[in-house]
């Protein structure tokens, strides 16, 4: 039956905030079909998917493989054929190779056909993004797409963040609404930043904007969803949930010369501790599940870092999929033994004790002749850590469990970690969380069970773990503060150096001791080689190690002006 060619005054748009998997073309297509069917049941006219949905985002160099790009286009053609059923049209992202190059693209599908293609013009090349190395920008500024008589502007993600005037051009070309597919990763405070970017474009164009954002973990990145719309009057028209999959339908009505959203969800965005915790939980869950691990194992030392990682693992995966191992040596305190057991019991996960006296003493004996005449020190301490790492990797090999590594960002910054020891592992959920933030998250988790968590309520991290002085327990009466400044001081200096790229003079002006700042800067630089060999971990801050901060290993610069 032919459609009514008169432009409608009502448009129901389903925003598909879903969790695709990079490379799983068939699985992502199935998700799209399911979402479209759901949207149809709720009376939607159009389903807006997120950036590169068919491929998963970011696909990185996978898009350089022609077979992959061709598979994505075939999947989109199959989805286009589905739309001949008279149900909702579709806007969906995928890579496309055309005469003008390989593009980050969208297709608009309706009535069994591909009615339009549009290519991303502004390719991001900063922080976690490096699209310019794999994609070519669209050959021209994209014009609006006529969808059932309504002229839709469809800028793709960075097209609204950059300064190429894509939205302005769309408005000048007659666009009535801006629909934006995005792959915008989480970091603390990102939702407010997205709102500000969208409002700036609404002010510039006078058009309402619907911002659809991907959900889910992809290696170090977590996409938090939190899709929303901004009305032409700059008010928040609707707000979808953060860290949760959803297909939400909003109703848009033509009023005079413009469109107004008259209904849609209005979810509350979590506060900072909840948001960070849920990002870590989602990142760990998706890394484990999308890579096919059935369960995880970690060393539970009785310290706060391993305790919060155990809590995150149980919340993400369930107690039956988490195994904790305490590996005591002669310097392990009775408090640590009790605290580790209490933590595992509170979480309900499996807890084993594997003493390391014999293997450590065996290594010491084997090396005795080589080390004769030298003093005991860091080398002997590291034997303990490396023995523990070997045991965890043996359990991983034997049972197929992924090792969760537990070093926080403060330790990773200054090299307070042992290669091939406590750095062993497949993924680190707190890699981008500073020590004082670990304390804040632990206190928060003891009072709150986050949505979607599979762990228990109540105190899951014993109070003594939070209260006691942190220690690696590699020598008698050791504490972290023997060799590092107090963590509040250390974390502030590190945030200045890493996130702020501030000079030593500027950091000293904040009240820090100059010699201490020089020492921390030096430790930060010389630990780069360790970080290059560290497990991936969830990005929480604006500048994480790896994707965002890529310093040379060989580096003699020190700020001594």
SS3 for 298-312 is EECCCCHHHHHHHHH
Q: In what order do the strands lie in the sheet with 402-403?
A: 350-353, 322-326, 296-299, 402-403
Cα separation, 532 vs 536, in Å, equals 10
Residue of 383, 388, 377 lying closest to 340 (CA atoms): 388
> 255 and 138, same structural domain?
yes
> Could you tell me if residue 85 is inside a domain?
yes
* Active-site residue, selected from the candidate residues 31, 72, 73, 120: 120
Supply the DSSP symbol for 545. B
**Taking the C-alpha atoms of 309, 546, 417 and 435 in order, what is their torsion angle to the nearest 10 degrees?**
-50
415 belongs to an annotated ligand binding site? no
> DSSP code of 225?
B
Instruction: Please give the C-alpha separations between residue 359 and each of 1, 308, 327, 365, in angstroms, as whole numbers.
Output: 77, 28, 11, 10
In a domain, 4, yes or no: no
* Residue 249, phi then psi, degrees to nearest 5: -100, 130
Does the annotation mark 496 as catalytic? no
Do 21 and 121 share a domain, yes or no? yes
Has residue 240 been placed in a domain?
Answer: yes
How far is residue 401's CA from residue 320's CA, in Å, rounded to a whole number? 12
Per-residue confidence (pLDDT) for residue 275, from 0 to 100: 96
Q: At what angle do helices 378-399 and 357-367 cross, to 10 degrees?
A: 130
45 in a labelled binding site: no
Inside any domain, residue 158: yes
Determine if residue 184 is labeled as part of a ligand binding site.
yes
- The whole-angstrom distance between residue 203's C-alpha and the CA centroid of its chain comes to 30
The DSSP annotation for 486-510 comes to -HHHHHHHHHHHHTS---HHHHHTT
According to the annotation, is 439 in a ligand binding site? Answer: no
- Report yes or no: 366 and 258 within 8 Å, Cβ to Cβ: no
The secondary element (H helix, E strand) that includes residue 193 is helix 190-205
On whether 308 is known to bind a ligand per the annotation, the reply is: no
Q: Do 221 and 357 reside in the same domain of the chain?
A: no
User: Does 330 lie in the same domain as 209?
Assistant: no
According to the model, what pLDDT value does residue 1 have? 47
pLDDT at 43: 95
User: Residues 431-453: pLDDT tens digits?
Assistant: 999 999 999 999 999 999 999 99
The last residue of a domain, from among 421, 452, 480: 480
What span, in angstroms and rounded, lies between the C-alpha atoms of 56 and 19? Answer: 9
Distance CA 288, CA 298 (A): 13
CATH of the domain at 226: 3.60.110.10
Q: Active site residue: 72, 73, 157, 220, which one?
A: 157
Choice among 31, 51, 158, 473 that is catalytic:
51
Question: Global pTM?
Answer: 0.93
- Find the domain containing 428 and state its range: 273-480
94: which strand partners?
A: 105
Q: Any residues with CB less than 8 A from the CB of 351 and at least 6 apart, and which? A: 300, 323, 324, 325, 326, 340, 341, 344, 345
The sign one gets for the Cα dihedral 193, 199, 201, 204 is negative
221 is in an annotated binding site: no
- Same domain membership, residue 54 and residue 138: yes
**Residue 190, annotated as binding a ligand:** yes
Domain boundary among 480, 495, 519: 480
- Which CATH number belongs to the domain containing residue 317 in this structure? 3.40.50.620
Structure tokens at 325: 């191992």
The pLDDT of residue 3 is 60
Structural domains in the chain (count)? 2
The mean pLDDT values, 10 residues at a time, for the chain of 561 residues are 71 97 97 97 97 95 95 97 96 96 96 96 82 90 92 94 89 95 94 96 96 96 96 95 96 91 92 95 97 96 95 98 95 90 96 95 93 90 93 96 96 92 94 96 96 95 87 60 84 94 95 94 94 93 84 84 71
pLDDT of residue 481: 62
Is 498 among the domain residues? no
SS3 content of the chain, % helix, strand, coil (to 5): 40, 20, 40
Is 294 part of the annotated catalytic residue set?
Answer: no
> Do 116 and 65 sit in the same domain of this protein?
yes
* One domain for residues 334 and 187: no
Angle at 192 between CA 137 and CA 408, to 5 degrees: 90
Clarify whether 157 is annotated catalytic.
Answer: yes
In a domain, 518, yes or no: no
On the CB side of 433, CA atoms within 13 Å amount to: 30
Angstrom distance (rounded) from CA 340 to CA 331: 15
**Residue located via tokens 């149900």:** 87
Q: Are residues 326 and 286 in the same domain?
A: yes
Query: Does 48 show up as a binding residue in the annotation?
Result: no
| Same structural domain, 221 and 349 | no
Which of 439, 464, 480 corresponds to the end of one domain? 480
530 annotated to bind ligand: yes
DSSP state of 284: H
Q: Are residues 306 and 408 in the same domain?
A: yes
In-domain check, residue 152: yes
Claim to verify: residue 64 and residue 194 sit in the same structural domain? yes
In a domain? residue 530: no
Q: Is the domain of 251 the same as that of 394?
A: no
């Amino acid at each position: 039956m032919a459609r009514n060619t008169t432009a409608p005054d009502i448009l129901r748009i389903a925003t598909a905030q879903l969790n695709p998997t990079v490379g799983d073309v068939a699985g992502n297509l199935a998700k799209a079909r399911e979402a479209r069917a759901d949207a149809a049941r709720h009376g939607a006219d159009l389903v807006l998917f997120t950036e590169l949905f068919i491929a998963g985002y970011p696909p990185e160099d996978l898009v350089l493989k022609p077979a992959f790009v061709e598979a994505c286009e075939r999947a989109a053609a199959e989805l286009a054929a589905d739309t001949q059923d008279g149900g909702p049209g579709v806007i969906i992202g995928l890579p496309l190779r055309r005469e003008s190059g390989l593009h980050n693209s969208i297709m608009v599908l309706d009535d069994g056909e591909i009615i339009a293609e549009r290519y991303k013009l502004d390719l991001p090349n900063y922080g976690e993004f490096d699209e310019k190395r794999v994609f070519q920008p669209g050959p021209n500024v994209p014009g609006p797409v006529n969808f059932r008589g309504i002229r839709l502007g469809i800028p793709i993600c960075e097209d609204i963040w950059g300064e190429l005037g894509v939205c302005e051009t769309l408005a000048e070309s007659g666009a009535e609404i801006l629909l934006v597919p995005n792959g915008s990763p989480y970091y603390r405070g990102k939702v407010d930043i997205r709102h500000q970017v969208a409002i700036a474009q609404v002010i510039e164009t006078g058009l309402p904007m619907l911002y659809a954002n991907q959900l889910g973990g992809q290696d170090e990145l977590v996409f938090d969803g939190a899709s929303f719309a901004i009305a032409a009057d700059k008010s928040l028209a609707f707000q979808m949930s953060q860290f949760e999959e959803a297909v939400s339908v909003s109703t848009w009505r033509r009023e005079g010369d413009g469109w107004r959203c008259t209904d849609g969800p209005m979810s509350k965005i979590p506060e900072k501790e909840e948001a960070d915790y849920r990002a870590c939980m989602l990142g760990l869950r998706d890394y484990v599940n999308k890579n096919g691990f059935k369960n995880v194992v970690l060393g539970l030392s009785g310290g706060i870092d391993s305790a919060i990682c155990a809590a995150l693992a149980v919340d993400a995966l369930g107690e039956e999929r988490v195994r904790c191992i305490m590996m005591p040596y002669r310097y392990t305190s009775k408090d640590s033994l009790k605290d580790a057991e209490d933590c595992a019991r509170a979480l309900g996960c499996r807890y084993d004790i594997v003493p390391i006296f014999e293997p450590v003493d065996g290594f010491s004996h084997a090396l005795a002749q080589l080390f004769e005449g030298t003093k005991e020190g860091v080398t002997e301490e590291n034997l303990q850590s490396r023995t523990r790492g070997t045991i965890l990797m043996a359990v991983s090999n034997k049972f197929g469990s992924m090792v969760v590594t537990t070093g926080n960002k403060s330790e990773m910054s200054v090299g307070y970690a042992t290669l091939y020891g406590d750095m062993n592992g497949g993924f680190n959920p707190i890699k981008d969380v500073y020590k004082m933030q670990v304390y804040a998250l632990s206190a928060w988790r003891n009072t709150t069970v986050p949505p979607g968590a599979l762990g228990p309520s109540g105190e899951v991290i014993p109070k003594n773990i939070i209260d006691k002085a942190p220690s690696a327990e590699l020598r008698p009466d050791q504490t972290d503060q023997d060799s590092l400044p107090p963590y509040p001081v250390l974390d502030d200096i590190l945030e200045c150096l890493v996130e702020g790229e501030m000079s030593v003079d500027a950091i000293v002006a904040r009240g820090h001791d100059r010699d201490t700042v020089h020492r921390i800067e030096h430790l930060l630089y010389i630990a780069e080689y360790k970080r290059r060999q560290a497990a991936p971990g969830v990005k929480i801050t604006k500048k994480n190690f790896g994707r965002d901060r890529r310093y040379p290993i060989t580096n003699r610069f020190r700020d001594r002006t």
